[in-house]
Amino acid sequence: MSVYPFIEAERAEQCHVKPACELLEVSRAASYQWARHIPSKHDLDDRALKPRITEIHQTSRGTYGAPRVHAALRRDGVATSTKRVARLMGEQGLAGRRKRRFKRTTIADPDLAAAVDLLKRAFGPGATLIDRAWCSDITYVRTWEGWLYLAAILDVRSRRVVGWAMADHMRTSLVCDALAMAVHSRRPAAGLVFHSDRGSQYTSGSFRALLGSHGMRQSLAAPGQCWDNAVAESFWSTLKEELVYRHPRATRTRARQAIFEFIEVFYNRQRHCCIV
């Protein structure tokens, strides 16, 4: 054994480094400098942020993009930028869900007399109070058994789903059941504005009578103007992108269970910091 083992080790290392540097067309000086690299504070901060970003993304069920992850970090007191979050998510192969174009399902009543839009697209956080304005719409979910129809009612102020109902049809009873649930859970005061599109379910005599029995004022969007019911449309887009399109269901029963869990466990209590 040599009396200078460290010299032999250094020579052996140089024998491997030289051909590698020649192959990669870099200098040996650059190679040694890179090997002695000490992580900067920025690099260390990136390493600390990555597990937290992954945790938030997983908690959102893989739906949050960089803006929402950034918002969650800010709520936790972490000062960073959306651009940095996007870069770190990209390095880890994380991405949010993109919304698709929305398809309408309700059929307008051609015999409906002129009705007033009481909201006038006033959907901002300061536009109304809790349980003073609700909006509603109907959508569909495809299963191997056929369509499952879902009617939902959202509070305009908090964006919370206050009532919903599911069935294998689109009759007026579907929206009546959703309204009954909303009234039972929220107990709103008289004068609440109930906003929807001009679908025949919402303009039927029985539904309008039900609104009147609870002291609610009906508000109807202009014909063909989806933006007049933007709160409901936005919720459908979220439901489809974050649940329906990702996990198709074989039966209506399984679809019902998944939608119930999404609304009551995730959306109302976790997806948004809702005001109850």
User: What CATH number corresponds to the domain at position 186?
Assistant: 3.30.420.10
Question: Residue 78 burial (CB < 10 Å; 0-12/13-18/19+)?
Answer: middle
pLDDT score of 264 more than 60: yes
Give CA–CA dist 164/268, Å, rounded: 12
- Within a domain: 117: no
Q: Are residues 27 and 53 in the same domain?
A: no
Average pLDDT over residues 34-39: 68
Alpha helices in the chain (DSSP H): 5-24, 28-35, 41-59, 66-75, 82-91, 172-186, 200-203, 205-213, 230-239, 252-261
- Within a domain: 104: no
Give CA–CA dist 59/265, Å, rounded: 12
Q: Are residues 51 and 31 in the same domain?
A: no
- Tens digits of residue pLDDT in 128-173: 789 999 999 999 999 998 999 999 999 999 999 999 999 999 999 9
Q: Are residues 18 and 69 in the same domain?
A: no
Q: Quick one: which H or E segment has residue 152?
A: strand 146-155
- Within a domain: 23: yes
Is the Cβ–Cβ distance between 97 and 246 less than 8 Å?
yes
Q: Are residues 65 and 170 in the same domain?
A: no
Range of the domain at 16: 5-35
177-188 as b/e: b if 16+ CB within 10 A: bbbebbbeebeb
Q: Are residues 48 and 27 in the same domain?
A: no
Give CA–CA dist 147/3, Å, rounded: 82
- Within a domain: 209: yes
Greater confidence (112 vs 12) lies with 112
Give CA–CA dist 46/43, Å, rounded: 5
- Within a domain: 199: yes
Q: Are residues 148 and 185 in the same domain?
A: yes
Q: Are residues 49 and 22 in the same domain?
A: no
- Tens digits of residue pLDDT in 60-119: 777 788 888 888 888 888 888 888 888 888 888 877 776 655 455 545 555 555 568 899
**Helix axis angle, 41-59 to 66-75, nearest 10°:** 100
- Within a domain: 53: yes
Q: Are residues 165 and 240 in the same domain?
A: yes
| Final residue in a domain of this structure, among 22, 57, 91 | 91
- Within a domain: 122: no
Q: Are residues 72 and 24 in the same domain?
A: no
Q: Are residues 164 and 211 in the same domain?
A: yes
Q: Are residues 27 and 55 in the same domain?
A: no
Greater confidence (122 vs 26) lies with 122
154-169 as b/e: b if 16+ CB within 10 A: bbbbbbbbbbbbbbee
In terms of pTM, does the model score above 0.85? no
Q: Are residues 209 and 267 in the same domain?
A: yes
pLDDT score of 7 more than 80: no
pLDDT of residue 6: 40
Tally of domains within the chain: 3
- Sorted by sequence, the CB contacts under 8 Å of residue 117 that are 6+ apart come out as 195, 219, 220, 221, 222, 228
- Within a domain: 60: yes
Pairing of strands 193-196, 217-220: parallel
**Helix axis angle, 82-91 to 41-59, nearest 10°:** 80
